[in-house]
Structure 1
Amino acid sequence: MNTASKLLSATAASVLIATAVASAGSGAVQTGTKTHPGHHSHGSHRVTPDSPQAKRFVKGVTVAEITAHQTALQRIASLNDDTREVFSNGYQESLDYVVSTLRDAGYSPQVTQFNFPVWSESQPPVLNRVTPPKTYVPGDAADSDQPIADFITMANSPTVELTDAPVFPVGGIVDPPTGGSESGCEAADYTGVSGKVALVQRGTCAFVTKWSLAQAAGATGVIIYNEGNTAARQNPIFVDNQPDPPATIAAVITSYTLGNELLQAYKLGENPTVDLKVYGTFTDRFLPQVIAETRGGDRDHVVVVGAHLDSVEAGPGINDDGSGTATLLAQAEELANGRYHLRNKVRFGWFGAEENGLVGSTYYAHNLSQREVDKIDVMLDYDMLASPNYVRGVYDGDGNAAPDNPAGPEGSGKVEQVFDDWFDAQGLESVRRAFDGRSDYVGFTDRGIPSGGVFAGAEGVKTAEEAAIYGGAAGSWYDPCYHQLCDNLITVLTGVPPLDAEGLAPTGDEAAKRAAQRAMAGGAIKGLTELSAAASYAVYYFGASKDPFSAKVHKARKEARKVGTRGPDYAWHGHGNRVRR
């Protein structure tokens, strides 16, 4: 029994075993093998789900070991205000735990630094109406949703000074406000805004979407005013989301009263102008993350396996991504103890600040030399493997599961196929998840590295069809505790979210919520069992296989190097700071 196992008391171990046994016979329906279009057999490759060494490795990465590490992470969070977010003591203690566990297993982990620039305002912002003159009161994050301020700068705004700038209301404003405004949600709404400050009403789409569209249309600045349709939508609020591409114009969020004044002035033909001055700045700030690799294996053929070490501020993150963090630790220990003699080098990464925009992993991948990139065969990303209302999600590497799914770099379809092969061999159905840029593979796909992973689900709503396949509760989130305090060890071990979990039958009454609890009980451990097995098989497959990718993949990567491309650009969709609307 390794270090992690010793962390479980006899009582906790009994609970775990009982939960695992119960979940093994609960709810989820095993179906026949699913056929995935465009996927073919491995042909001459020797590693298959039936390979004895592959089966031994998968069996050696036990759920007991994984949950032992999750127990340690929960203990750390409990001692640190129930969080392991990247700026907390809980994150540093989580990092120390990973490092000590790896050293005990015989690794030489490296604590590397990544740059997470901090945004701040060097002086208060200015928003004045020029004619007739009126000065508005600035606020900051501490004044969010309070009537004491008239406007607040959106985080990540650059330094911009505009004087006597014309204000232009964009399309879609609902006046008087009745709710559901789609103002500024489409590019067509910005016709005529070039060279002017866009006046946009809050509504159904994200603030950051409005900001990005205004910038693309040539606006010189953005004033987003609160919608005004309810008492809760009157005051200015602080929003911390990053537009993509990064902002070159400033954005502020104002009270409904301020925005409506400018709107009515425009409607009366007064052609209002404003002084808009924002003094945003970024300061370098370096934070730690952990990299460790196997002693053996070909240094010119590296398998990167990643998870994120941080949680959100709101909770301990024992599923998101304590499940990935713990699975990687168990895999690393099994490789160290099992004498597998893999052909290729396996490099594990516990990345930081994923919840703040994939910061650590992107910094790591983007700062690799091209020579180092060329040595990486594949990136496997494991983020959220223990969702109570789980599905067996596989990233759609070749992008062929739905018309709008982006494909990963050439070779990502092969990664998808490897997961398919494992699930097919177990007689288990799986579902495709879009390669949509919400986890730590993004920095690697930017560099053209084939990538993939498995995923149990976050705030998406389980369908009736999925409930028939996997069990659980249709109409509830895959993880009802996503980004909440209840993403904790109790929820993982029991699979029962509390009644106040945001994603538990969100449109239902108490009876519906209790029924949903019963439907998904035991699901987190069951999902972790199935998804961690697939995750471990893929690690072994790519670690043991000689040249698993086709000549087409090698040619594509060679051509990409010639023209200097970095692979598809996946926009971050806000897995960290929740995208505000």
Structure 2
Amino acid sequence: MPVFDRPLRHTLRLAAAAALSLACLSAQQAGAAPLPSAPAGTTATGRAALSPDRLADGVRGRDVARHLRAFQRIADAEGGNRGYNRPGFTRSVRYVAGKLAAAGYEVERQRVPYTDFDIAEERLSVRSGSGDGRRVPVLMTRFTPSTSAAGLDARVVALPRGRTGCTASDYDGVTARGAVVVLARDACGFGHQQQVAAQAGARAVVMYYPTPSPQNNYRLMGLPRENFVIPMGMVSQTDGERLARQAASDEGARVRLTLRGDDVRRTTVNVIAETRGGDPDDVVVMGGHLDSVPEAPGINDNGSTAATVLQTALELAPHQDRVRNKVRFMWWGAEELIDVGSGYYVDHLSPAERGRIAAVLNAELLAPSNYGRFVWDPGTGGSHRIAELFAGYFERRGLPFERQDPGAIGSDHLVFQAAGIPVGGLDGGNLQVKTPEQQARFGGTAGRMFDPCYHQPCDRLEAIDRTALDTNARALAWVLGELALKDGAVRGIRAAG
């Protein structure tokens, strides 16, 4: 899941084919007598009949964890990440596609062209009025302007306590012209803060993200690009607050900041596999992004979902001719660059193809170490009907959850939602801080982020909460089973609009 200033919206493409065995399944589920040769609880081929509960039983946390171990091995072998533009992503694609093909699916790798941003140099050094200096790790915000190759040498200034940099009046009494301004990210939006700083005459912004994990640093995405007019880099909260204190106490404090990057045209892929059977006019999409940020292995974000989707597909594979509604499993590329793969897919759907998609299931960060359980629910329409399926599943099992608007999490479901397609899903929380009430509800520790390893090198297998992985993976598989195997759930979503 990317860190960016505001969600983007896109639109998409799908293909469908019907299977001859659909008629038999439809008759049986409508109440027709079973085939004489099939004992109760089995199909005509002798296999146990599939149900949502049976499907969920095959998507246990320990089953999903096998794929997470594979993703971790890939990241370890490829520089510590599975970044959307790195070999670790390519190897992840091979792993998923190979498992699907071995299970009997036809696998498509949809090529997706996109504009990447390669960072050539990011350096920050700070020196006091007395001349001593130190280096500070800095991450250039992607798609923002570069400094010159030599960098810029400038005074560093900080705003008085209580000022956020969200309004021009925050700079009253502050000489920002020609300076580098250090700011804490605020809810008004870091793009807006950067614009206000530029209007005050700042040459660049150095920003930090206040969190209960002050050593963390987060690379941001400068989109939409027109909002970003001066160079911008991110430092940890620890370094940012230290820099702000130095700026406030030492009028001679200066920085040398070098941030350089360039646009690069690349191609990523979406991995697509769908059931042979099922009504092609009622397609259920289950997906999750396969890439990580280049700074992390991405085992929770979003290997936890990618692995759950894969295990669900493998469990459904022997029954794929006998589903009522067609299921399309999808693994998106370059989500961390703001929904690139899913956006391309939606943009290239015809209106008719778009109308065949009855529902989209997506998820993010299913098993962070200080997890919550959030069901995406806009409160109305077909997406609300999907949320009710998740809610019913958790309520029957005594598992606590909270509802939140789907827009609270920026991810691939948003491009489908913008296209008018019902969406549903889960997340375990990321940068938000757990409240005492949420600690009482879910356990864990209040005052800490749900995922202290979000977009950090520690987003590894050992940071996964196995209980959260087990319960959330099963829930996703169960809801997929309801939509794939029963006609009533999809009819209800369609009727709700």
TM-score of the pair, normalised by structure 1 = 0.60
The SS at the match of 2:299 is coil
Q: Does 1:415 align with 2:386?
A: yes
Q: Deviations over 1:335-392 (max 9, x none)?
A: 1124672111111111112222222222222222222111111110022222222222
Q: Does 1:445 align with 2:417?
A: yes
Q: Does 1:203 align with 2:190?
A: no
Q: Does 1:141 align with 2:121?
A: yes
Aligned to 1:21: none
Alpha carbons of 1:56 and 1:188: their partners in 2 closer, same or farther (altered >3 Å)? farther
Aligned to 2:367: 386
Tell me how far apart the structure 2 counterparts of residues 56 and 176 of structure 1 sit (CA, whole Å).
59
Q: Deviations over 1:543-573 (max 9, x none)?
A: 12326356895585xxxxxxxxxxxxxxxxx
Q: Does 1:462 align with 2:441?
A: no
Tell me how far apart the structure 2 counterparts of residues 117 and 95 of structure 1 sit (CA, whole Å).
20
1:357 to 338, 362, 365: 338
Tell me how far apart the structure 1 counterparts of residues 197 and 70 of structure 2 sit (CA, whole Å).
50
Aligned to 1:68: 66
* Equivalent pair of 2:179/2:204 in contact (CA under 8 Å): yes
- Counterparts of 1:137-216 in structure 2, within 5 Å, are 141-145=121-125, 155-157=142-144, 177-183=159-165, 185-186=166-167, 201-205=181-185, 209=189, 211-212=191-192
Q: Deviations over 1:122-148 (max 9, x none)?
A: xxxxxxxxxxxxxxxxxx733345679
Tell me how far apart the structure 2 counterparts of residues 198 and 211 of structure 1 sit (CA, whole Å).
19
Q: 1:441 is aligned with what amino acid?
A: H
Aligned to 1:327: 308
Aligned to 1:97: 95
Q: Deviations over 1:24-47 (max 9, x none)?
A: xxxxxxxxxxxxxxxxxxxxx999
1:473 to 426, 437, 445: 445
User: How big is the shift at 1:443?
Assistant: 1.3
User: How big is the shift at 1:218?
Assistant: 12
* Equivalent pair of 2:56/2:474 in contact (CA under 8 Å): yes
Tell me how far apart the structure 2 counterparts of residues 463 and 69 of structure 1 sit (CA, whole Å).
32
* Equivalent pair of 1:154/1:251 in contact (CA under 8 Å): no
* Equivalent pair of 1:397/1:414 in contact (CA under 8 Å): no
Q: Deviations over 1:139-162 (max 9, x none)?
A: x7333456799xx99642589xxx
Alpha carbons of 1:555 and 1:281: their partners in 2 closer, same or farther (altered >3 Å)? farther
Q: 1:528 is aligned with what amino acid?
A: L
Tell me how far apart the structure 2 counterparts of residues 52 and 107 of structure 1 sit (CA, whole Å).
18
Aligned to 2:469: 528
- Range with bigger deviation, 357-366 or 441-450: 357-366
Q: Does 1:343 align with 2:343?
A: no
The SS at the match of 1:285 is strand
User: How big is the shift at 1:107?
Assistant: 0.5
User: How big is the shift at 1:462?
Assistant: 2.1
User: How big is the shift at 1:415?
Assistant: 1.1
The SS at the match of 1:390 is coil
Aligned to 2:482: 541
Aligned to 1:430: 401
Tell me how far apart the structure 2 counterparts of residues 226 and 466 of structure 1 sit (CA, whole Å).
33
- Counterparts of 1:31-50 in structure 2, within 5 Å, are none
The SS at the match of 1:321 is helix
Q: 2:112 is aligned with what amino acid?
A: F
* Equivalent pair of 1:156/1:240 in contact (CA under 8 Å): no
User: How big is the shift at 1:480?
Assistant: 2.7
Alpha carbons of 1:176 and 1:120: their partners in 2 closer, same or farther (altered >3 Å)? closer
Aligned to 1:315: 296
Q: 1:534 is aligned with what amino acid?
A: A
* Equivalent pair of 2:62/2:470 in contact (CA under 8 Å): no
Aligned to 1:54: 52
Q: 1:471 is aligned with what amino acid?
A: G
Tell me how far apart the structure 2 counterparts of residues 109 and 311 of structure 1 sit (CA, whole Å).
22
Alpha carbons of 1:144 and 1:290: their partners in 2 closer, same or farther (altered >3 Å)? farther
The SS at the match of 2:453 is coil
Tell me how far apart the structure 2 counterparts of residues 367 and 222 of structure 1 sit (CA, whole Å).
41
Aligned residues: 402
The SS at the match of 2:300 is coil
Aligned to 1:300: 281
User: How big is the shift at 1:472?
Assistant: 2.0
User: How big is the shift at 1:67?
Assistant: 1.0
* Equivalent pair of 2:181/2:197 in contact (CA under 8 Å): no
Alpha carbons of 1:181 and 1:79: their partners in 2 closer, same or farther (altered >3 Å)? same
Tell me how far apart the structure 1 counterparts of residues 459 and 219 of structure 2 sit (CA, whole Å).
24
* Equivalent pair of 1:362/1:442 in contact (CA under 8 Å): no
Alpha carbons of 1:419 and 1:92: their partners in 2 closer, same or farther (altered >3 Å)? same
User: How big is the shift at 1:483?
Assistant: 2.0
Tell me how far apart the structure 2 counterparts of residues 541 and 187 of structure 1 sit (CA, whole Å).
53
Q: 1:375 is aligned with what amino acid?
A: R
Q: 1:59 is aligned with what amino acid?
A: D
Tell me how far apart the structure 2 counterparts of residues 208 and 423 of structure 1 sit (CA, whole Å).
35
Q: 1:442 is aligned with what amino acid?
A: L
The SS at the match of 1:142 is strand
Tell me how far apart the structure 1 counterparts of residues 30 and 397 of structure 2 sit (CA, whole Å).
18
Alpha carbons of 1:283 and 1:91: their partners in 2 closer, same or farther (altered >3 Å)? closer
Unaligned 5+ segments in structure 1 are 1-44, 122-139, 160-173, 192-196, 229-236, 265-277, 399-406, 493-523, 557-581
Q: 1:544 is aligned with what amino acid?
A: L
- Counterparts of 1:67-86 in structure 2, within 5 Å, are 67-86=65-84
Alpha carbons of 1:211 and 1:388: their partners in 2 closer, same or farther (altered >3 Å)? closer
User: How big is the shift at 1:201?
Assistant: 4.4
User: How big is the shift at 1:180?
Assistant: 4.9
User: How big is the shift at 1:100?
Assistant: 0.4
Tell me how far apart the structure 2 counterparts of residues 238 and 62 of structure 1 sit (CA, whole Å).
32
The SS at the match of 2:97 is helix
Alpha carbons of 1:471 and 1:318: their partners in 2 closer, same or farther (altered >3 Å)? same
User: How big is the shift at 1:298?
Assistant: 1.2
Q: 2:398 is aligned with what amino acid?
A: G
Q: Does 1:251 align with 2:248?
A: no
Tell me how far apart the structure 2 counterparts of residues 432 and 555 of structure 1 sit (CA, whole Å).
19
* Equivalent pair of 1:179/1:227 in contact (CA under 8 Å): no
Q: Deviations over 1:207-228 (max 9, x none)?
A: 9935447879997998444589
User: How big is the shift at 1:317?
Assistant: 1.8
The SS at the match of 2:96 is helix
Aligned-residue identity in percent: 32
The SS at the match of 1:300 is strand
Unaligned 5+ segments in structure 2 are 1-28, 32-48, 128-132, 147-155, 209-216, 234-242, 252-258
User: How big is the shift at 1:393?
Assistant: 1.5
